[in-house]
Amino acid sequence: MAEFRNQTISYLTSKFREIGIRPVSKHGQNFLIDMNLLDLLVRSANIQKDDVILEIGTGTGTLSTRMAAQAGHLVTVEIDPHMATFAGEELDDFENVTLLNYDALRNKNNFRPEMIETIKEKMAEIETDHFKLAANLPYNVATPIISNLLRTDITPKSMTVTIQKELAERIVASPGTKDYSALSVWIQSQCRCELVRIMPPGVFWPAPKVHSAILQIEVEPERRAAIPDLEYFHEFNRSLFFHRRKFLRSVLQSTYKGKLDKAEVDQVMEQGGLNPSARAENFTVDEILAMCELFRQRMQEKQD
């Protein structure tokens, strides 16, 4: 097996001192210093030679080198120019790495288009349709990254990520629990999720205030394909949980305000056998998918 540089506190502090920089907390710069956990993340991602891997948050490049050694191609994105220079030196010897130095997100709802284009180009170059996200994500943008990747036209096979424990728990939450949210439903409607490992703050430098987790998200293509209109479902689901304590009838009335009158909303609810005084958080993922489909079809009938 190839020898890789270990990322220890003394290595990081001396390197940062040499360059004259400090970890920037607004960019979520907490570096994984437990190499066993870094290897667990790589193993969980099950990286193959026909995979294009997207890493958001190159940092020092420690995780990147390990992934590049196994991948067909690694596209790694880093917002901080100091970090990109640092990582660039580490990754210089790899011909299958594209290091991009910019913000991976154009805004909260969209990725930077050039990044998506680069991934598509690399997939075409190595003639594969296998694309995976594997990263120790910057915590402040982990939700839009995971959620939006399921809204692009390059569906990932899987997403293997280190994120805040709280976020991981929200993603895997079951109906009726306080963590069950639009995000849980959106991800679970098309993916199988597994909490691989909970990690204490001390496995990072500098240590964050919270616990973290490695989450493995496997996209299930048949389930994804069974959703007739992903964007419609995304918006419906978000609107359903927007006032999560409100009764379903009132939530649906405000969702369809100006599009369906109250009697029409009641009709669709009756058709689906939906209890008007239930709350979004009581419905399973499949029930929410079915509910969305009833309303989508009703809207389509109205437009025809």
Ligand X SMILES: C[S@@+](CC[C@H](N)C(=O)[O-])C[C@H]1O[C@@H](n2cnc3c(N)ncnc32)[C@H](O)[C@@H]1O
Q: Residues forming the annotated binding site for S-adenosyl-L-methionine?
A: 30, 32, 57, 78, 103, 136
Compute the least distance from the CB of residue 115 to ligand X, in Å: 9
Contact call for residue 78 and ligand X (CB under 6 A): yes
Contact call for residue 104 and ligand X (CB under 6 A): yes
Contact call for residue 163 and ligand X (CB under 6 A): no
Q: Are 133 and 179 in contact (CB under 8 A)?
A: no
Q: Residue 80: which residues within 8 A CB-CB, separation 6 or more?
A: 24, 27, 29
Please report, in range form, the residues annotated as the binding site: 30, 32, 57, 78, 103, 136
Site map (CB under 6 A) of ligand X, residues 138-157, x = contact: x--x----------------
Using CB under 6 A, which of 34, 50, 103, 218 touches ligand X? 103
- If the CB atoms of residues 53 and 141 are measured against ligand X, the closer one turns out to be 141
Contact call for residue 116 and ligand X (CB under 6 A): no
Helices (H), the chain: 9-19, 35-45, 62-68, 81-91, 113-125, 142-149, 165-172, 182-188, 221-225, 230-242, 248-255, 262-271, 285-303
Q: Rounded to 5 degrees, what are φ and ψ at 108? A: -55, -30
Contact call for residue 70 and ligand X (CB under 6 A): no
Q: Which of 173, 174, 145, 175 is nearest to 160 (CA)?
A: 145
Q: Which of 4, 140, 153 is nearest to 79 (CA)?
A: 140
Q: Which residues bind ligand X (CB under 6 A)?
A: 27-32, 56-59, 62-63, 77-80, 83, 103-105, 136, 138, 141
